[in-house]
Amino acid sequence: MLKLKLPGLNLKNPIIPASGCFGFGKEFSELYDLNILGALTTKAVTKLERNGNPTPRIAETDRGMLNSIGLQNPGVDNVIKNELSWLKKFKLPIIVNVAGSSIEEYVEVSKLIAKSNLVNALELNISCPNVKDGGIIFGTEAKIAYNLTKAVREKVDLPLYVKLSPNVSNIIEIAKAVELAGADGISLINTLIGMRLDLKTGKPVLANKIGGLSGPAIKPIAIKMVYEVYQNVDIPIIGMGGIQNAADVLEFMYAGASAVGIGSANFINPYICPEIIAELPQLLKDYGFNDIKEVIGYAHK
């Protein structure tokens, strides 16, 4: 009753750990069998290894957190050799989150990953708020988002999910642009940009000053964006932002998500994904549904 099909993804259930909150799966594989997940999204991958921003990179906020990791990753070659090859042993759709400083970098990384034949879909992260020379600038202008998606689309055959930034005046415009450019799906939302100051030092808590806000605090913003984008595009949405339990999953799917990303909740309860998967069937029954597919976009019916 939880099974779903999305472009390139045969999901046992709609629960997908979100990018950056699950590494490349190794750490969580020591806690539970990854095969129970709907799919898995990796940390962002860039062409070369990146060390990310200076620390502190983590700050707590009211029912949320800021992170300024800054795309730390071992670079695409290493990722393919050490991470994606390792992930092969699981019977699990793998989505690789791709980031870069230029459209060329997105294309190149995407091509290399596609060539590896190890993954089921790509998620183009055009919304990372934590690096100056990349990520978010591609996600705040519809035209650039279009060009980037189109450039990858033309060179790569894998299903493409484009992950949008919520830090925009008009999310619908951008969603439509990436749909038009050939995206197979949309991931919504990445983090909102935020800051916390340390009262003692007077300075930002994060060394990078700003960071990405995630957690329950942002859920209403995410729900609204999923709801609106659902009404305006025909490709499926992977919804995320603040999901903490099975009821939140239902809320996102009502709003229009076909599957959901679980991000920072993994830090608070490392078993959150299996727990939600276990709770979903009963929750669906409680609300009178026989199949998860009935829930998608229910708020619009």
Residues annotated as catalytic are: 128
Q: Number of C-alpha atoms within 13 angstroms, CB side, residue 101?
A: 9
Q: What angle do CA 7, 72, 166 make, to 5 degrees?
A: 55
Q: 3-state class of 57 per DSSP? A: coil
The number of angstroms, rounded, from the C-alpha of 271 to the middle of its chain's C-alpha atoms is 18
Smallest gap, in angstroms, from Cβ of residue 218 to a second copy? Answer: 7
Smallest gap, in angstroms, from Cβ of residue 106 to a second copy? Answer: 20
- Which of 138, 189, 254, 296 forms a contact with a second copy (CB under 8 A)? 254
HEC per residue, 179-192: HHCCCCEEEECCCE
Distance CA 28, CA 121 (A): 21
Q: 165 vs 99, 125, 162, CA distance in Å?
A: 13, 9, 10
Q: Which of residues 140-179 bind other proteins (CB under 8 A)?
A: none
Q: Is the dihedral of CA 298, 224, 171, 62 positive or negative?
A: negative
- Which of 56, 111, 245, 281 forms a contact with other proteins (CB under 8 A)? 56
- Which of 236, 264, 276, 277 forms a contact with ligand FMN (CB under 6 A)? 264
**Residue 54 burial by CB count (10 A; 0-12/13-18/19+): exposed, middle or buried?**
exposed
Smallest gap, in angstroms, from Cβ of residue 290 to ligand FMN? Answer: 27
- Which of 8, 38, 64, 139 forms a contact with other proteins (CB under 8 A)? 64
Q: Which of residues 136-155 bind ligand FMN (CB under 6 A)?
A: none
- Which of 2, 217, 267, 279 forms a contact with a second copy (CB under 8 A)? 217
- Contacted by 197, from other proteins, a second copy, ligand FMN, none: CB < 5 to 8 Å by type: a second copy
Stretch of 58-66, 71-79, 84-92, 110-118 contacting a second copy, by CB under 8 A: 58-66
Distance CA 13, CA 90 (A): 15
Using CB under 6 A, list all residues that contact ligand FMN: 18-21, 43-44, 67, 69, 97, 125, 128, 163, 190-191, 212, 214-215, 218, 240-243, 261-265
Binding residues for other proteins, rule: CB under 8 A, are: 20-23, 26-28, 30-31, 43, 49, 51-52, 55-65, 67, 69, 72, 74, 215-216, 264, 266-270
